[in-house]
Structure 1
Amino acid sequence: MIGPWTMESAVVYRARARGCLLGGAIGDALGYPIEFTSLDGIRAAHGPDGVTGFPSGAVARISDDTQMTLFTAEALTQAVAREQERGLTGAWSQLLAWGYERWLETQNKPGPEQATVPEGSPRGSLVDQTWLYSRRAPGNACLSGTAQKYHPDPWHAIDGKAGRVNPNSKGCGTVMRSAPFGLCDTGQEAFEKAARGAQITHGHPTGYYAAGALAAIVAHLVTGDSLEGAVLRAMRLLARYPGHEETSTALGRAVDLAAQGGEPTADRVESLGAGWVAEEALAIGVYSALAHPGPREVRRALLLSVNHSGDSDSTGSICGNLVGARHGDVGLPQEWVERVEGRAVIAAVADDLAGTCVRL
């Protein structure tokens, strides 16, 4: 748990928690329509600046990135509540696996009436949200891994060895869903829980280390660190774990690229990769946030993170998690917040997690 809290710090934290989830949803929705489009194709369709906002008059649809993030946050809220009520400190592992199984129901069933939940699992409220029952290009490893119903050992050491489920997979489906871990634990605890949680679907060390790194960065941001400070602290933490090198190298390239200064461009973004794998998605999201770190640069950071030839919704989601956690929901472009699909539910999920974690 993070804290202790004063009334003032609790208010700031809640704004940052809401900003983290809403910011992620905005980045996701900006990138989702162009996820499989080349940069040349994006510019041909949207002009030389690429995507500059949401299409006029349309709801900005979120993808599987925000779907899974919401189910992560709901499961963690249940876990924190159970820990407070019953002292069950390892319950988060099983509750998280159940949360992803509930997400899988939304991918396989036509609506809430047909959905079932695992025996012993709380139902939660998300499984009753009709708008979540839509496949939005979910990753194969997320689908196949969740279907295996693996519940990781909450006390297992993160040892850099391949996990049991999809041991060769390091897709970005680990990192794009892991920001909520940073909203309810300190940096190291968030890192380790997110890494174990990623192993529910992806077994490659780089996949689960990238998830842990994002969670740690978010944990530092919501307690007041700068973007650069949070990233550097997470990198120092990451370096303690065997097999971290691929993730550390990707993050180091992002930090170095931002430190060079100059105009951030799509070419610079694409020099970090395409974002289909976890470490590249993390690097692009981090670079975009570092390149535009100020409270008045959130819009530019988000647009930079999606206008490239790779996995635009995942990189946009990660960047949005970061700038939202740093600047809070009031720092997000409000006209974009108002357009995001399910925004009231997203805000409520963030509020529930924040309200459960804060004890004055």
Structure 2
Amino acid sequence: MATGLWGRVEQQDFRGRIRGTLLGSALGDALGAPAAGLSLAALREAHGPDGLTGPAPALGRRGRVTAATQLTLFTVDGLIRAHVRRDTGAWHPPTDLHRAYLRWAATQHDWGPDERRKDNGWLAREEWLYARRAPHRACLTGFADDVLGTLDQPKNPTARDAAAAARSAPFGLLVGWEPTLVLQLSVECAAQSHGHPTAHLSAGAVAVIVHGLIRGDSLDAAVQRALGLLGARPGHRPVTDALQRALAAVTQGSPGPDAVEALAADEAGDGCDAADALAAAVYCALVAEDVPQGLRLAVNHGGDSIAAGALCGALLGALHGETALPAAWLAELEGRAALLELADDFALEMTQGPSLHSSTTASPGWLARYPRG
């Protein structure tokens, strides 16, 4: 997609890909939730020889999302707020993202929205978000105080799980940014909770791949770009090796659970490594004949099914847009209205931001939704 050209067709395509990315990620998250903590054998025993083939009850009902989707929503909210605050001259997106993640952290311990907080914006007033949905410990501890983790002084330096990667697809939606800047921002924001290079570089890889897809690249080309950019980063080897394994697996036999299992289970056998979840997601997106098949592959294994499902869904949604997503699954998806609302607001900000706010004019309604404070 050519940047700077925002005709009607370009805007519609961009909005469809944003919707696809966010809805696809949430669908993969919800599909993977019933598989959390189960081996492939246990999944087959519980759901039949093909394992999970569609939405199943988890966390109380079918279609319910986890903390991966909650944090993805707040990532988008933070990115919009960062662009709105640019008018003030206070341009430091990692700080705006950190504030967004602190708003998420409040949903994990407060009973409901704090109406006294006028700077919360609309998302933090969504009551359905005030629920704990299997958040990773590193996210809870990383955002337990106001201290901003950085690459020099990251939070949780040993945390290498995929929770930071699972929330990072929205950085790739910054279509007007150069890939190097997308990588840098996503890595800096991942280090706010996940200090291990495997975790925050996996998050950066997700963002760069989505960025390429949004711009119209093929998935293979987007992965190759990520490999090139990651190669200059200290500690990149586990992540670049994982991406190379995913690419190689495409040519090694027919797609199936065994191939995904080999990618998704880390050397310790606990399936908690971000690079392994990334490899499984990329492989499943590469071999998928359609979105449902890709998502089924991405969650039926003994690794991190939630992260792999969310990441694969984000990739397929960015690649094909919202119309490729299974309507029957979307109908049951928790938070679908909020996801759509946020996606459309993001598209509006990226394409028509100057008409909504500037150093001299502003839409009061927009600033009530996305306060500058």
Q: Same fold (TM over 0.5)?
A: yes
- Choose from 268, 282, 291 the match for 1:286: 282
Tell whether 2:134 aligns with 1:132.
Answer: no
Residue 60 (str. 1) matches residue 56 (str. 2):
no
- What runs of 5+ residues in structure 1 fail to find an aligned partner? none
* Residue equivalent to 1:265: 256
1:147 partner SS: coil
Contact 2:22–2:343 under 8 Å retained in 1? yes
Counterpart contact for 2:26–2:310, Cα < 8 Å: yes
The one of 48, 52, 76 aligned to 2:79 = 76
Would you say how many aligned residue pairs link Structure 1 and Structure 2?
342
The CA RMSD measured in Å over matched residues stands at: 2.0
1:314-333 paired onto structure 2 within 5 Å = 314-333=307-326
Per-residue deviation at 1:58?
Answer: 4.9
Distance 2:179 2:280 in 1: 21
1:158-199: per-residue Cα shift (whole Å, max 9, x none)?
6xxx74311111111110000010111332211110000011
CA distance in 1 between partners of 2:166 and 2:23 (Å): 13
Q: 2:91 aligns with which of 89, 92, 101?
A: 89
5+ residue gaps, structure 2, are 266-270, 354-373
Q: Which amino acid aligns with 1:3?
A: T
CA distance in 1, matches of 2:43, 2:214: 33
Structure 1 equivalent of residue 16 of structure 2 = 15
- What's the counterpart of residue 368 of structure 2? none
Residues 22-49 of structure 1, C-alpha deviations (whole Å, 9 max, x = no match): 0000000000011111111111111111
**1:315 aligned partner, one-letter code:** A
CA contact (8 A) 1:72 1:100 kept: yes
Deviations 1:238-267 (A, max 9, x none): 11222211111111101111133x321111
Q: Give me the whole-angstrom Cα distance separating, in 2, the residues matched to 1:175 and 1:196.
A: 12
Structure 1 residues 222-281: Cα deviation after superposition (integer angstroms, max 9, x where no partner)? 010111111111111111222211111111101111133x32111111111334221111
* Structure 1 CA distance for aligned equivalents of residues 239 and 56 of structure 2: 35
Q: Which amino acid aligns with 1:74?
A: D
2:254 maps to 1:254: no
User: Aligned runs of 1:1-360 on 2, under 5 Å?
Assistant: 3-7=3-7, 8-55=9-56, 58-83=61-86, 85-90=87-92, 92-113=93-114, 122-152=119-149, 163-184=153-174, 185-260=177-252, 262-274=253-265, 275-292=271-288, 294=289, 297-359=290-352
Deviation at 1:55, TM superposition (A): 3.6
| Higher mean C-alpha displacement, 2-11 vs 139-148 | 2-11
